[in-house]
Amino acid sequence: MHPGPAGVRRGLLGATVLGVGRRGKYLIFHLNNGRGLVLHLGMSGQVRRFGVDPMHRHEHMRLEFSDGQTLSFVDARRFGRVCVITDGGPLPRCVRGMERLGPEPIEKGYSAAYLGGHLSGRKARVKSLLLDQRVACGVGNIYSDEALHRAGIRPDRQAGSLKPPEVSRLTVALGSVLKDGIRWCGTTMKDGGFVLVDGGVGSFQDRLRVYGREGERCRRRGCVGVVRRQKLGGRSTHFCPACQK
């Protein structure tokens, strides 16, 4: 059923890229043939410009443009996805989650009313719900920990127990953390993470306040807490027991 590499190639051949967009964690190359190339970087995926280099390790796809330039998709851990979608058509399985994405926390339309509506009455931990792309699209493990810290909320709180001021703070924190991540060109950890198209690295990892900082001092001004790490839903979770309630 899945068209595979040959189908992707067929969908792209001869097409012109009209523009590039993003929705949640999906990148979309809009084409002039009524289709779109969708890329999801997973956790180790990279879009890279290599020029005339020979094939790189873990390079799964290379786009060749009429002017001789190239764009490569590289992904060591193979959690990423590549597929072609048709405008107005049904989405292939591999990107089915795209049609369920909620509003973007960095856009005007995102509100405390929307977030609260998804948290109220829920018994699941608030962090688990933040990882749900219908609730907070674009948020992953790092940014959920950081947003909860900025909002002063423990990640293991029952989502439905959050009071209106907390929901409000979390709404703001989600937007600000994502915007800061973009401002500092993403988070590049020692074992991988985001890499720019020319191979450059981001610097948001230097500004993280809890993620990856177990045993270190909380970075909130005036807080003397020590960051704790705990498994939550199979995910490594970081928080400050002193300033997150």
Partner DNA sequence: CTTGTGTCCTGTAGGC
Partner DNA sequence: TGCCTACAGGACACAA
* Residue ranges in contact with DNA by CB under 7 A: 24-26, 40, 42-44, 57-58, 76-79, 93, 95-97, 122-125, 128, 131, 133, 140-142, 190-191, 211, 229, 231, 233-236
d(CA 105, CA 136): 6
Angle between helices 164-183 and 112-119 (to 10 degrees): 120
User: What is the nearest approach in angstroms of DNA to the Cβ of residue 233?
Assistant: 5
> Which C-beta is closer to DNA: that of 142 or that of 151?
142
What are the start-end ranges of the H helices in 97-163? Answer: 112-119, 126-130, 141-151
Token pair belonging to 214: 């177990």
Helices (H), the chain: 4-12, 112-119, 126-130, 141-151, 164-183
CA within 13 Å, CB half, 3: 18
Residue 23 or 30 with smaller CB distance to DNA: 23
Closest CB 227 distance from DNA, rounded Å: 13
- What SS3 state is found at 225? coil
> In the complex, what is the shortest distance from the CB of residue 47 to DNA, in angstroms, rounded to a whole number?
15
Task: Decide: 228 and 238 in contact? Cβ < 8 Å.
Answer: yes
Q: 149: number of CA atoms within 13 Å, CB side?
A: 30
CB of 222 to DNA, least distance (A): 27
Distance of closest approach, residue 27 Cβ to DNA, in angstroms: 11
Which CB atom, from 97 or from 103, has the smaller least distance to DNA? 97
Min dist. Cβ of residue 141 to DNA (A): 4
- How many of the other CB atoms lie within 10 Å of CB of 67? 6
DSSP letter string over 139-151?
A: --HHHHHHHHHHH
